[in-house]
Amino acid sequence: MSAGGDLDYALARLAARRARRPGPATWRALESLRAFAPALAAARNGGLVHWLDGIDARSDPHRIEAALRAAWRAEVAALARWLPARWQPALAACADWIDLPRLRAIGAAEGADKDLARLHASLPGGHRDPDAAWQALLLARLCEAGAVSDPAFARLARALTLHRERFAVLPPGNGWPLRADLDDWLLGFLHTAPPGPATAFAWVALQALEIERVRGVLLPRAAREAAA
């Protein structure tokens, strides 16, 4: 963890990145492609190259998954370095989000692996559920940084909680419209919320939606071609 950055600098960097986000037309063109290699090339040319380090036309699903997890951690680490020191631990906790699906599967099948054990060890009480463990850790670090007194954080937390509740009751494979609604809400939040740390965490949520969508494009195509 660095000694600490500058909030104004961080927000300026985020604004520049937000201006380069792929728009709906880019996603429609990308998602219309049936084969993996053209989809990967379109993603590189469509403003998504920051997720694709280590992925090429020969990558199998396992390599793609590993590369996306590494790209997410690099993205979170960069943002954490930009923020003032007191916000860095909370932002850094967001890096573990990418591993929650894997940890759920490992926990259900084999018991805790070393990553899940590390996440548990960071919390008092030893949560066995990785989602609960991660949420508790993030909340604890946000409280330590002073987020509980920030109305913008309260507004963001309500929106994310509502999204999780709605998402939890959806049948598998029906989550993309709900993700799109959250994406729109987060963009509106970035335009209307006062500049502050909450906007950095809203950006992380937007990036989470983006990398999930990249994964949803690349993995099924790579898996089909691997099976063939």
At 25 the pLDDT is 92
Per the structure block, which two tokens stand in for 193? 């919320």
Q: Yes or no: say if 33 and 43 are a contact pair by the CB < 8 Å rule.
A: no
Question: Can you count the helices (H) and strands (E) in the chain?
Answer: 11, 0
| Residue in 188, 153, 142 with CA at minimum distance from that of residue 18 | 188
pLDDT tens profile 43-85: 999 999 999 999 999 999 999 999 999 999 999 999 999 999 9
**Crossing angle of the two packed helices 197-227 and 36-45, in degrees rounded to 10:** 160
pLDDT tens profile 121-149: 655 555 567 788 788 888 989 999 999 89
At 61 the pLDDT is 95
CA–CA dist 149, 154 (Å, integer): 8
At 36 the pLDDT is 96
pLDDT tens profile 155-186: 999 999 999 899 888 887 778 889 999 999 99
CA–CA dist 61, 11 (Å, integer): 34
Q: Yes or no: say if 36 and 222 are a contact pair by the CB < 8 Å rule.
A: yes
Q: Where are the domains of the chain?
A: 7-227
The answer to whether the pTM exceeds 0.85 is: yes
pLDDT tens profile 185-201: 999 999 999 989 999 99
Place of tokens 């089909």: 224
pLDDT tens profile 12-38: 888 888 888 999 999 999 999 999 999
CA–CA dist 199, 205 (Å, integer): 10
Amino acid at 173: G
At 171 the pLDDT is 80
| Residue in 68, 90, 64, 65 with CA at minimum distance from that of residue 79 | 90
Per the structure block, which two tokens stand in for 176? 């993309």
At 18 the pLDDT is 87
